[in-house]
Amino acid sequence: MAATITSITKTGYSSWLFTWTGTEPFYVWRDGVLVLDGVSDTETIIEGTDAEEPPAIQVLDSTETDDPLTVAYPPFGLLQWRGDAAVSYYRVDRYVGAAWVTYITVGESGDGGYYSAKTPALVDAVAAQWRIIAVDSVGNESEPLPFTFSITKHPDPPVIDMSYSDGTGLLTIEAR
């Protein structure tokens, strides 16, 4: 990562001063909106919606995408597969309720390149099932290529042990 948050300080009821250091250009996104681009030492105030916690942001360096749709809530899945020149099109199915439903069709260009389809927003802690089916010019279908996504947007933090020594004045932190 090109940028590091070195401090976050509360400056108002829901205002937070973020201080950054970095050696490469970086971009700061909040809810899909670019709020800062910078390099080296930078300070900026970002308004939050909570008086107790700073706003959630995502920092990208110059080697990553600056497309807010890929970093903003909600998360998406990306299905990718290698094509075949003999295929007329690919059908992308989504498992909804208790049945497979066609989500989208992707045309074949005839060169057998790589293809992809972006899912709609994924739901936290719910498995999403998808499949790709190749269809030829007379309607024959291939065996499905399955995909399953399961995400956790806010995983539990690691459990740690802390101990303080009165004699040394040191706080020891260990992962369990």
pLDDT in tens, 6-20: 788 888 888 888 888
Same domain? 59 vs 101? no
User: Is the Cα torsion angle 160, 165, 166, 171 positive or negative in sign?
Assistant: negative
Indicate which CATH number applies to the domain containing 82.
Answer: 2.60.40.10
Of 71, 89, 107, the one marking the end of a domain is: 71
Residue-wise pLDDT tens digits, 51-100:
888 888 877 765 555 455 444 445 778 888 888 888 888 999 999 889 99
* Residues 41, 34: Cα–Cα separation, whole Å: 18
Would 23 be classed as within a structural domain?
A: yes
Domain boundaries, position 140:
78-149
| Residue 8 and residue 31 in one domain | yes
Q: What's residue 56's pLDDT? A: 80
Domain shared by 89 and 129, yes or no: yes
Residue 26 has pLDDT above 70, yes or no: yes
Task: Give buried/exposed letters for 27-52 (b at 16+ CB in 10 A, else e).
Answer: bbbbeeeebbebeeebeeebebeeee
Residue 151 has pLDDT above 80, yes or no: no
- Residue 63 shares a structural domain with residue 95: no
**Does residue 60 share a domain with residue 12?**
yes
Q: How confident is the model at residue 1 (pLDDT cuts 50, 70, 90)?
A: very low
* 8 found inside a domain: yes
Nearest to 68 by CA among 121, 32, 120: 32
Structural domain includes residue 157? no
Mean pLDDT of the chain: 79
The whole-model pTM stands at 0.47
φ/ψ of 160, rounded to 5, equals -130, 155
Asked if 44 and 18 count as a contact pair (C-beta separation under 8 A), the reply is yes
Confidence of residue 144 (pLDDT cuts 50, 70, 90): very high
Number of folded domains in the chain? 2
Instruction: Tell me whether residue 105 is in a domain.
Output: yes
Nearest C-alpha neighbor of 119 from the set 152, 92, 155, 98 = 92
Same domain as 95, residue 58: no
Predicted confidence band of residue 176 (pLDDT cuts 50, 70, 90): low
Residue 86 lies in a domain: yes
